[in-house]
Amino acid sequence: MSTEIKSKRITVRDIRQLKGGQPIVVLTAYTAPIARLLDPHVDMLLVGDSLGMVLYGMETTLGVSLDMMIAHGQAVMRGSERACVIIDLPFGSYQESPQQAFRNAARVMAETGAAGVKLEGGSEMAETIEFLTTRGIPVLAHIGLTPQSVHALGGFRAQGRLDEEAAAIRSDARAVAEAGAFAVVVEGTVEPVARAVSQELAVPTIGIGASPACDGQVLVVDDILGLFGTFTPRFVKRYADLADQVEAAARAYADEVRARAFPTAEHCFGAPKRHPQ
Ligand code: KIV
């Protein structure tokens, strides 16, 4: 019996090998239909805990549960066939101990079939990253502006402006890479620090608000589609204005229903249809 895994998906090893080469393209995805549309165009789909804010209207990502991440992770896996899918470990599901992190990451891996997990934190998470990676769980690290620590950081503000902040980010980057992370998300970090980190590490950096110096880029899909209007950070570029289109479609539908212009015979079962003579 063959034990070969037959998958057309991009692997974490493929991502790791893109270091210094063609920029790595990453978008978040939370649902099967959106994953299906993004899949041919990206290297990685990140089921980010940003879904708490983007889909559920939460003010921060702190209220997201492991069950939510697993349900959305399963949806994204069903909707995609090519991209490497990575799922965020939510706040409180990994910080307590390496063992807690392993238990919850193992659930994510077993119940979704994703290629790995992402977790936030630098040097303080190195022991946990090593614990997971040496036990077969690929880890995407996340340093710089880490939204799960928004209260400790004093809000969503760019990191690395002060010398001591810059030094801490560089040492965090080294620590998570040495611990075995296959790549590192660098969020909301000033350009010189993101550049230094990208040059220093042997694994790829994936930037969000961290300049083109990174080995790849990630954005929240609803931001690039112009669907998430509450707040648009400076580092986001809108590639579409779907919010306007959704509103226009809802208005047109409401107008037609109120005017009894919808539904017509073609949308009805059993209504007489006009046939060509
Ligand atoms: O939760 C998320 O979507 C993320 C990315 C934006 C990096 O962590």
Mean pLDDT of 97-126: 98
Pocket probe for ligand 1: among 34, 218, 228, the residue whose CB has the most ligand atoms within 8 Å is: 218
What is the pLDDT at residue 228? 76
Would the CA dihedral through 186, 159, 172, 196 be positive or negative? positive
Question: Does ligand 1 come within 6 angstroms of the Cβ of 28?
Answer: yes
Share of the chain above pLDDT 70, in %: 94
Residue with the larger pLDDT of the pair 156 and 264: 264
Averaged pLDDT of the chain: 94
Output the residue whose Cα is nearest ligand 1's atom 5: 48
Mean pLDDT of 64-89: 98
What is the pLDDT at residue 154? 75
Question: Does ligand 1 come within 6 angstroms of the Cβ of 217?
Answer: no
Mean pLDDT of 187-206: 97
Q: Which atom of ligand 1 is nearest to the CA of 54?
A: 3
Which 3 state secondary structure label does DSSP give 118?
strand
Q: How far is the CA of 261 from the centre of ligand 1 (A)?
A: 43
What is the pLDDT at residue 3? 59
What is the pLDDT at residue 177? 98
What is the pLDDT at residue 247? 96
What is the pLDDT at residue 138? 98
Output the residue whose Cα is nearest ligand 1's atom 3: 48
What is the pLDDT at residue 98? 98
Pocket probe for ligand 1: among 25, 31, 47, 50, the residue whose CB has the most ligand atoms within 8 Å is: 50
Domain boundaries, the chain: 12-241
CA 105 vs CA 13, 87, 111, 125, 180: distances in Å? 19, 9, 10, 14, 15
Contact 185, 143 (CB under 8 A): yes
Q: What is the pLDDT of residues 7-50, one digit of tens each?
A: 799 999 999 999 999 999 999 999 999 999 999 999 999 999 99
Mean pLDDT of 105-120: 98
Question: Does ligand 1 come within 6 angstroms of the Cβ of 143?
Answer: no
Output the residue whose Cα is nearest ligand 1's atom 4: 48
- Triad 191, 192, 193: Cα angle to 5°: 90
120 is catalytic: no
Q: Which of 111, 187, 247, 256 is catalytic?
A: 187
pLDDT band, residue 211 (cuts 50/70/90): very high
CATH code at 12-241:
3.20.20.60
Residue with the larger pLDDT of the pair 272 and 111: 111
How far apart CA 135 and CA 217 sit, in angstroms, is 28
What is the pLDDT at residue 275? 63
Q: Which atom of ligand 1 is nearest to the CA of 88?
A: 1
Q: What is the pLDDT of residues 117-174, one digit of tens each?
A: 999 999 999 999 999 999 999 999 999 999 888 888 877 778 888 899 999 999 999 9
Question: How deeply is 58 buried, as exposed, middle or buried, from its count of CB atoms within 10 A (0-12, 13-18, 19+)?
Answer: middle
| Orientation angle between helical segments 126-133 and 98-112, nearest 10 degrees | 40
Q: What is the pLDDT of residues 40-51, one digit of tens each?
A: 999 999 999 999
Question: Does ligand 1 come within 6 angstroms of the Cβ of 218?
Answer: yes
pLDDT band, residue 230 (cuts 50/70/90): low
Over 90: is that where the pLDDT of 186 sits?
A: yes
